Amino acid sequence: MSDDDQVRELRERIIQLEIQNSEAADKIRILNTLAKEKPTSRPVPNNKHEFSVELTRDNNERLSYAYKVDGVEFYVRLCRQAQVGCEATFFASLVVANITRAQKFALTTMEVGHKNVESSTRGQPYKFTSLCGSVSQNFTLNAGEEEIGTRRTFKMKETYATCAVTIYVRVSITVQTIDLPEPEENDERIVVVKGEDEDISSGDFRELLAVILPSDKPITKNNYMKLLTMAQRFEMPELTRRVECFLIDFDRNEMNRAAVYRIATDLFELKLVQSALIRRWDNLQLLERELVQTHEYDKLSAETKAFVNEKFVQAFKQEDFGHWITYENEEEPGSHRLFGRNVPNGDSYVAAGGTALGAAALIGRRKRDVTDEQRVTAEYRFAAIDSNGDGAISEGEGLAYLMSMESARVKKDVGHDGW
């Protein structure tokens, strides 16, 4: 290579380096400019909540209350494994569900711990001690989807393997609604119909047409929510009826009755599904087992819960348990005990009054199954049960709150797990 060629090559290399340096300088200038600009949207708030989950002696799995944030529900699942060696193993998972018709993104952080009574000082809250490091998880959820997060494992002393233990779980969650991308002006591959609750894409329409037109495309657990959404949106009663028939075929389609009831009442208005379940739940035992004792009941709206409570009162009356009477406990003035009369076979039923929200959580148990000590344990202030303050406890006051989560606490106090 001649000297002239070497000089020419060196000059070209210098020019390339100058161009690269200029581009890098432009990028740095742009980044510095963006950093000084104000954000175009306000930051999404970070919601924090502390769950308290209690495992009793005979219960090794428990779900916490469910809370709602920006169209997303979240709760904690806690499990206790059999003791191995000198330690008891526990598992905690965060469950996040999208209860809206728009796609949601949730960024969560979960930390599991317990509160040490001995480490607290007088007048100060108990100290929170972490049992395992905090974990961050992301959830991308379509309409109606529920996802279980990463399971966190921790161990405790062997004394916690069989006794009651309370675990505290701190959760922070940030929720954002995912907007569908706007199609380009000449792009015919994406078709989006705008709506108040949810946008419908061309892929959704293909799924819809594959079901409603003569074809072998069935309604499944994967597509029924989307089909139901579009059937309601575009006023397609025949498709709504087909989806309802799919939902009430519980055994063959492996559908959870409590979850289906929530869909039929709070998310949509499905009269056929509501009617089928209400007729089935005329049986008090089925109503308790299939709805009351499931975590789906806690997710119901206040209006739906009120209707269910009234339904339970009617079912309870059909059992012919007789009427309720009260008498004042002489050992503790102002405290009352409830008994039932005119019960079949002459057996008496005992009920424990709850204290939540000025209502009562009553549990019927045959006299032969409840000891005197358990009856005393089940006594609560009469004033808390007498919600209207008229000095008497009516059936409505006594039974209206039976199906709330407060009943779980009363069951623990009475000393039994089943109904």
Q: Is 189 helix (H, G, I), strand (E, B) or coil?
A: coil
In this structure, what DSSP letter does residue 84 have?
B
Whole-angstrom distance, CA of residue 387 vs CA of residue 394: 10
Q: Where are the alpha helices (DSSP H) in 319-377?
A: 372-377
- For 125-169, write each residue's pLDDT tens digit: 667 778 887 888 888 888 888 998 888 888 877 566 567 788 888
Whole-angstrom distance, CA of residue 96 vs CA of residue 345: 48
Please give the model's pTM, rounded to 2 decimal places. Answer: 0.35
Confidence at residue 350, expressed as pLDDT on a 0 to 100 scale: 33
Rounded to 5 degrees, what are φ and ψ at 239?
-65, -40
Enter the tokens of residue 349: 């039923």
Give Cα separations from 168 to 49, 130, 163, 345 (angstroms).
Answer: 10, 9, 16, 45
∠ CA 280-301-418 to the nearest 5 degrees?
Answer: 50
- For 285-331, write each residue's pLDDT tens digit: 788 888 878 888 888 888 888 888 777 666 665 554 433 333 334 44
Query: pLDDT: is 33 or 91 the higher one?
Result: 91
pLDDT, mean of residues 373-391? 43
Give the least confident one: 120-129, 204-213, 334-343: 334-343
Confidence at residue 29, expressed as pLDDT on a 0 to 100 scale: 62
Q: Is 295 helix (H, G, I), strand (E, B) or coil?
A: coil
The residues spanned by each domain of the chain are 1-37, 47-177, 197-286, 320-414
pLDDT, mean of residues 78-104? 82
Q: Which amino acid is at 129?
A: T
Whole-angstrom distance, CA of residue 20 vs CA of residue 304: 65
Confidence at residue 41, expressed as pLDDT on a 0 to 100 scale: 40
DSSP-assigned states of every residue in 85-113: TTEEEEEEEEEEEE-SSS-EEEEEEEEEE
Residue 333 binned pLDDT confidence (cut-offs 50, 70, 90): very low
Three-state secondary structure of 217-245: CCCCCCCHHHHHHHHHHCCCHHHHHHHHH
Confidence at residue 403, expressed as pLDDT on a 0 to 100 scale: 36
Taking the alpha carbons at both ends of the chain, their separation in whole angstroms is 96
Q: Report the DSSP beta bridge partners of residue 73.
A: 68, 97
Please name the helix (run of DSSP H) or strand (run of DSSP E) that holds residue 42, with its range, or none.
none
Q: Report the DSSP beta bridge partners of residue 324.
A: 340
Whole-angstrom distance, CA of residue 214 vs CA of residue 223: 17
In this structure, what DSSP letter does residue 356 have?
G
Q: Could you give the maximum distance between any two Cα atoms of the chain, in Å?
A: 119
Taking 60 as the threshold, does the pLDDT of residue 36 lie above it?
A: no
Confidence at residue 95, expressed as pLDDT on a 0 to 100 scale: 92
The answer to whether 287 and 281 have CB atoms below 8 angstroms apart is yes
- For 212-230, write each residue's pLDDT tens digit: 666 667 888 888 888 888 8
Whole-angstrom distance, CA of residue 416 vs CA of residue 419: 8
Instruction: Indicate the class that CATH gives domain 47-177.
Output: mainly beta
